[in-house]
Each structure stands twice: as C-alpha cells, then as structure tokens.
Amino acid sequence: MKAVKFGGTSMSTADSILRVASIIKQDHDRRFVVVSAPGKAKGCDKVTDMLIAVSEARPCDRLVKFELVRNRFAALCDGVGLNGALDEELDKIQSNIVKADYCYILSRGEYLCAKLLAKLIGFTFIDAADLIKFNGNTYDDERTAEVCRAGLKGKLDVVVPGFYGSDEDCNIVTFSRGGSDVSGAIVARAVNADIYENFTDVDGFMTCDPRIVPHASVIDVLTYRELRELSYMGANVLHPESIFPVQKANIPIHILNTFNENALGTKIVPTEAFLAGKHSRKNNMPITAIAGRQHFFSLHIDKSMMNAEIGFVRRVLSCFERYDISVEHIPSGIDSMTVVFSAVDTETCNALIEAVRREVNPDHISLTKDIALIAIVGHAMKSRPGTAARAINRLSHANINLRMLDMGASEINLIVGVSDSDFERALVALNGEFEV
C-alpha cells in the first residue's frame, strides 16, 4: 500500500491534474493521496501566493482578490470535465473570506484542490483539519499520530489536503511553505504505508545544483541522514522536516517526476538499513552529493586562555539565544572561536556584538558578512581517507580562499566556508573533484 503526494506543479493545470489522476489509477496500491495547492501556470501565480494577497488586502478588497482564486478553480474544474463541481465550496469560502484569519485563507488552496481531485477520481475527501493537530502554532506529533491513525483506520481511496491541520480550538493552522510534504509523510505513517511516493516536477535529488553544474546527475539512493543534510543546505526537492514521521516507521520515500514517467527517481531509505547493506547505489564514489547556501555571517572571537575559562562558549551562545539567532557552526581553537549564523539585520547584529563584548570581554571580535557554506555529504567518506584533503586541494587549485572547515565525528558531512563571491566557482570545483 502506498501513500502518494503531488506537489503544486503537478496540480497547476487541468492537463496536469488529469495526468495525476492517470498516475493514481495506474497503480491500485496508491490508496492515500495528499495534494498541494495549484502551482504557477501560464498567466497565473501560485494559488497560495494569490491567497496571501487576499489575506493581506483590506477587508473591503478581499472579495475582489478572491474572485481571481475562484476563477482559477472554476477553470480547472471546466478543464477536467467537472463544470461547477466546486461552486458550493467556493460560495462557502467566499462568505467567510472577509473575516477569515490568515491560516484559514492560506489553506483553502489545498482544501479546494483535494476536493477537486477526490471528485475526479472517485476517492473520499477527508479534511486535514480532522487528522493533523497543532498545540497553538506548534505541530503536535504525538496527538497527530493517534488522531490520524484513528481517522484513517479501515479507509481506502482517500484524498487529504496538505499543508495544514487544526489546533485544540478547531482553528486552522498551517505548516511552513512546502509543508504538504510533511502532511504526506504523516499520512504514510498513519496507514503504515509500504512506501511514501512524492511526485514533483524534477527527476529526483541531484548530485549538485543543476543551475550551477549542468552535468549534475540524479542520485538513485539517499539515506534519511543524507537527506536532512542536503535539504537544509539548499537541496529543496523535499521539505527537510518531512522525513521525521516516516523515519519513525522506517517507511522509504520515493521522489518521482509527474511529467517524466521514465525517470527512476530517488529512493530515500532508512539510514541503518543502508549501512547494513540492504540498499546500494550505482555510484560508488565517497561523496553522495554537494549542496550549499549563501549569505551567512560569522562572528570571530579571540581571547587568551579562553580554554581555561569555564562556561565561555555557553556565555557566548547565550547572547545568540537572547536575540533569537540560530547558530549554524562553531569551529574553535584554543584561544579563539567562530560562530556562523544566518544573516540578521544591522541593528540586531550590532546589539549581538555588544552583548558578547559585555559577556566575555574578548581581546578581539570581528564580523564577516559574506560567507557561503557548502556541504559535502556522503556516508562513504568515513571509510575513504583523504576526502577533506581533496576538497581543500581542489579549492586551492581554483584559487578559492577557504574561510572555514568543519566536520563532525559522524563523518557524513564536511562543511567548507567560502566567500559568497566564490560560491558558484567552489561548487563547480568540488563537483569536478569528486565527479558526483
């Protein structure tokens, strides 16, 4: 039995929705379907962006803005041969739209899309608000597991809207953008699916960003751990939090392309099963993939005898916590430490530096604003000596200055830091070295 999720591009036009219906019908194991809101199409914005515009409009202008959304869904219904199928639902939403809150408005794209697909393929619609639970604005995994399992027990051939759930007061609450991936994983776990298929508009995870490295190839097998590292560092095929529900049940994920039935896609498998030899890759290189992100800051702190000062690192990090700044990496030496973090505004940055000065009285403190981080990811690095040396040598030969180097004890992820201006050249150089 399979749980299947279709992204916004797959649901963006009448033709693509008919393709989705065909894909579902081709495999009778596809019994549970989760959908995103329609994505961008020719002459049309993403429905979620259109709904954001509705929510941000003055109450007196919301009906005008919503008319564009209504027309989009009416056209989709006409295009798949279900003229007027959503009129009643659209009327109901329209009557609420003037006073509706942000999350309710944003969620209606997925809601209407799931209603449409369910009618088209003859499946049962079940509202995500009845299955996925939040405690305030925080996703409640334990309660969701119980409620979703009970809500889907004994049911087959179901369509569920992605991206949202409800809180204890039955108010709609949304995930972050791309959260329909998480919804699909939640449903897969609830029904104990054999596999979670995630259909998108690409052939799978790539070994490097193909916009920068055109000859990058599709990865046939990834582990949960590798997926987390790559997703966080900019490989945006799948929401980085979507593995957690399926990971608990050891359910593999299969990334597939709605528009290319010949593509084999990428299978994402339990890490322990891969390391035990239950899965193998066609590529036997030490590196699985390379990904990166730009525009980080780094705060460098020097202080003599820092290592002997108990609580020094904790006190520095308390300043970051005070200003709600997430820390990425902390490479350190005996008398120095560097804290790498996502870019913040100038006022917050200046306040942070002064807080660190007061807290630990450093000999010297400096800020660098143009750091790009590149993750070299792969389980095989642990058994292949020299990976870090090869990376450093390749960057040196490309005349790229290394700003940071960080590798954890797990040896699955080597992080190199370079200047933002060297980012693309570094990706090309590293990809060429490891031939991923």
Q: 151-185 pLDDT, tens per residue?
A: 999 999 999 999 999 999 999 999 998 889 999 99
The verdict on 194 and 302 lying in the same domain is: no
Q: What is the CATH number of the domain that holds 38?
A: 3.40.1160.10
Q: Does any domain span residue 339?
A: yes
| Same-domain pairing of 293 and 188 | no
Among 140, 171, 201, the domain boundary falls at 201
Mean pLDDT calculated for residue range 54-58? 94
Instruction: Please check whether residues 183 and 308 belong to one and the same domain.
Output: no
User: Domain total for the chain?
Assistant: 2
Question: What is the residue-averaged pLDDT of the chain?
Answer: 92
Residue 368 included in any domain: yes
* In a domain? residue 264: no
Write the CATH number for 358: 3.30.2130.10
In three-state secondary structure terms, 165 is strand
Look at residue 322 and tell me if it is in a domain.
Answer: yes
184: in domain = yes
Task: Name the band, by pLDDT with cuts 50, 70 and 90, for residue 356.
Answer: very high
SS3 145: helix
11 located within any domain: yes
CB 128 within 8 A of CB 110: yes
What are the tokens at 199? Answer: 């259909």
The verdict on 170 and 27 lying in the same domain is yes
Judge if 189 and 49 occupy the same domain: yes
Q: Report whether pLDDT(223) > 80.
A: yes
The 10s digit of each residue's pLDDT in 91-149 is 999 999 999 999 999 999 999 999 999 999 999 999 999 999 999 999 999 999 999 99
Distance separating alpha carbons of residues 228 and 250, to the nearest angstrom: 15
Kindly state whether residues 424 and 298 are assigned to the same domain: yes
Q: What is the pLDDT of residue 436?
A: 55
- 155 and 300 in a common domain: no
Query: What's the one-letter identity of residue 335?
Result: D
Q: What is the DSSP string of 250-271?
A: T--EEEEETT-TT---EEEE-H
Among residues 201, 233, 267, which one ends one of the domains?
Answer: 201
Give the separation between CA 83 and CA 77, rounded to whole angstroms.
Answer: 5
Read off the pLDDT of residues 267-278 as tens digits, 9 standing for 90 and up: 999 988 888 888
Report the pLDDT value the prediction gives residue 408, as an integer from 0 to 100: 65
CB distance 320 to 352 below 8 Å: yes
Instruction: Assess whether 185 and 334 both reside in one domain.
Output: no
> Domain range spanning residue 54?
2-201
The average pLDDT across 70-98 equals 96
Whether 254 is in a domain gets the answer no
Rounded CA gap, 133 and 391, in Å?
A: 45
Does residue 252 contact residue 269 with C-beta atoms inside 8 Å? Answer: yes
| Identity of the residue numbered 166 | S
Q: Say if residue 339's pLDDT is above 90.
A: yes
Note whether 109 and 37 are within 8 A (CB): yes
Whether residue 307 is found in the same domain as residue 417: yes
